[in-house]
Structure 1
Amino acid sequence: MNFLSHYYFDRNRGNPYEVLGMVLPDLIKNADKSWNIHPEKNIHLFSEDENIKSLLFGWKRHLEVDKIFHNSSFFLYHQHQIKVSIKDSILGSPVKPFFLGHISLELLLDNLLLSENLIDVEVFYKLINEVDDQILKKFINLNQIEDTDRFFYFFDIFKKEKYLYNYSNTEKITYALRRICMRLWQNPFTEEQEYHLTKSLILYKTKLSGEFLHIFELIDLQLN
């Protein structure tokens, strides 16, 4: 799941460290895709400070949410249906429809949460801005990452630009997909492909809107 979908499960929690921990695995990977850390396997390292423990608590919830989501019939069905619906839109693109179907589904879920006013993005940004950088730095250092400047460079941009607001606009999802794909391919889509991809996703959002909440309810039951 993407940032806002993860936040959905902590939307009623007021602990900034738990909320940040819930999205931290993706932030770490976005800052440097070579970083592959597993704090959940070294719990004893994170027991001396309550805020550090809260970051770890959120981290573990993130992993559990993704595990439930990616093994659900909802995910398997809709990522396949999106793949089928967009494959003609991206003919000739180096991007595989399967890859795009997976990411598109996650971004559409974020979009629907915003469209239905089920989360408050401003509260999300407010909470993560309350996290003490020194505590976050210590958590990252405990995971054997020394180059925290690299992380905080990305994290500061993430907080400043607040690009998650853009997910409320379905047309901006294609832009987000392009940015993600550009990490792997220099020119993932032509302008014409982007146009047709956007139309396909807008159409699929209509199909998804009537049932997307079921997956959040399912995960919530298993998580809590």
Structure 2
Amino acid sequence: MNYFAHALNHFDRPYYMAGTAIPDWLSVADRKVRLRPRLLEPWLTAESTVQADVAAGALQHLNDDDWFHATRGFVEVTGELTHWFREHLGRDEQYHCGFLGHVGMELLLDGVLAEKYPTQFEEYWRILDGVDPITIQTAVNCMAKSPTIRLAWFIDIYRREQFLRSYENDQALLRRLNQVLQRVKLSPIPDHAVAVVSSGRMLVRQRLRDLLPAEHYRML
């Protein structure tokens, strides 16, 4: 799952909603900082409501990932995307098609959800504008083994650039996927791979409920 999918059912608690993004924000802003369940759980009953909501939101993200990666939809859709990427790119190890299938599916899932729930997508950004990045960073530093000074900075960038908007366009999503590859020091993929993105988008639309099964995820 990615940012919008994690957040969609939690708009009633802004710092909880923001908390669902923290593991992914940290993976970009400060990769050495990790929030494990054992670090989060003691804070769920913190006297500060904001602290408790940030902890609960981050834990929600980790729990979401656990069931999501175990679904039949995740296995089958990522497998299909991996196969299509290999067909377009060959078996050159520089492309790590399994990684492309996984990350590409998650970006496409956010794009399909934004398309399906446009009003909620705009509300997502409005709610994020109302939270304080320094407050979130301070809450994280209470829980993490290593402090971060880059999280608040990245939250500001995330809110300003709103790069999730690019996920609704195949060519723009391909550019974002290449930015992810660059960040983890993998080779960018060529423009003709946009055909895989386009086919993948149709597949994610068709398999949406398999990816987000009713027993785990409430559709609006």
Shared fold, TM over 0.5: yes
Partner of 1:69: 68
- Residues 84, 60 of structure 1: alpha-carbon distance in 2 compared, 3 angstrom cutoff: same
Q: Give me the whole-angstrom Cα distance separating, in 2, the residues matched to 1:173 and 1:155.
A: 20
Q: Which residues of 2 match residues 99-138 of structure 1 at below 5 A?
A: 99-117=99-117, 120-138=120-138
Query: Match of 2:32, as an amino acid?
Result: S
Within a 5 Å distance, the mapping from 1:171-182 to structure 2 comes to 171-182=171-182
Deviation sequence 1:179-206 (CA, Å, 0-9, x none): 01101226x13xxx52221112202322
Matches within 5 A, 1:197-208: 197-208=193-204
**For structure 2, which runs of at least 5 residues remain unmatched after alignment?**
none
Letter in 1 for 2:66: K
Counterpart CA distance in 2 for 1:131 and 1:145 is: 23
Pair 1:183 & 2:180 matched: no
SS at match of 1:182: helix
Count of residues in Structure 1 that have an aligned counterpart in Structure 2:
214
Q: Please tell me whether the aligned partners of residues 82 and 105 of structure 1 are also in contact (alpha carbons under 8 angstroms).
A: yes
The aligned residue for residue 146 of structure 1 is: 147
Distance 1:24 1:195, change over 3 A: same
Indicate which of 196, 203, 209 corresponds to 2:205. Answer: 209
Q: Give the structure 2 partner of residue 165 of structure 1.
A: 165
Change (3 A) 1:129 1:40: farther
Q: Mark the runs of 5 or more structure 1 residues left unpaired by the alignment.
A: none
Q: Deviations over 1:45-103 (max 9, x none)?
A: 46120111011111111111111100111111111111101113223461211111101
Compared CA separation, residues 42 and 164, structure 1 to 2 (3 A): closer
Per the normalisation by structure 2, the TM-score is 0.88
TM-score, normalised relative to structure 1 = 0.86
CA contact (8 A) 2:73 2:207 kept: no
For 1:4, the equivalent position in structure 2 comes to 4
What percentage of residue pairs aligned between the two structures are identical? 21
Rounded to whole Å, the distance in 1 between the matches of 2:43 and 2:115 is 40
| Cα distance between partner residues in 1 of 2:128 and 2:206 | 31
Query: Separation in 2 of the partners of 1:15 and 1:158?
Result: 19
For residue 211 of structure 1, report the CA deviation from its aligned partner: 2.4
Q: Secondary structure at the match of 2:88?
A: coil
C-alpha distance in structure 2 between counterparts of 1:99 and 1:119, whole Å? 31
Q: 1:118 to 1:140 in 2, by over 3 A?
A: same
Q: For the residues of structure 2 that align with 1:119 and 1:24, how far apart are their CA atoms?
A: 23
Of 27, 30, 45, the residue aligned with 2:28 is 30
> Partners in 2 of 1:102 and 1:139 — Cα distance?
30
List structure 1 segments (4+ residues) > 6 angstroms apart after TM superposition: none
Task: Give yes or no for contact 2:108–2:201 (8 Å, CA) kept in 1.
Answer: yes
Deviation at 1:110, TM superposition (A): 1.0
Distance change in 2, residues 1:145/1:131 (3 Å): farther
CA distance in 2, matches of 1:9, 1:197: 32
Give the AA of the match of 1:9.
Answer: N
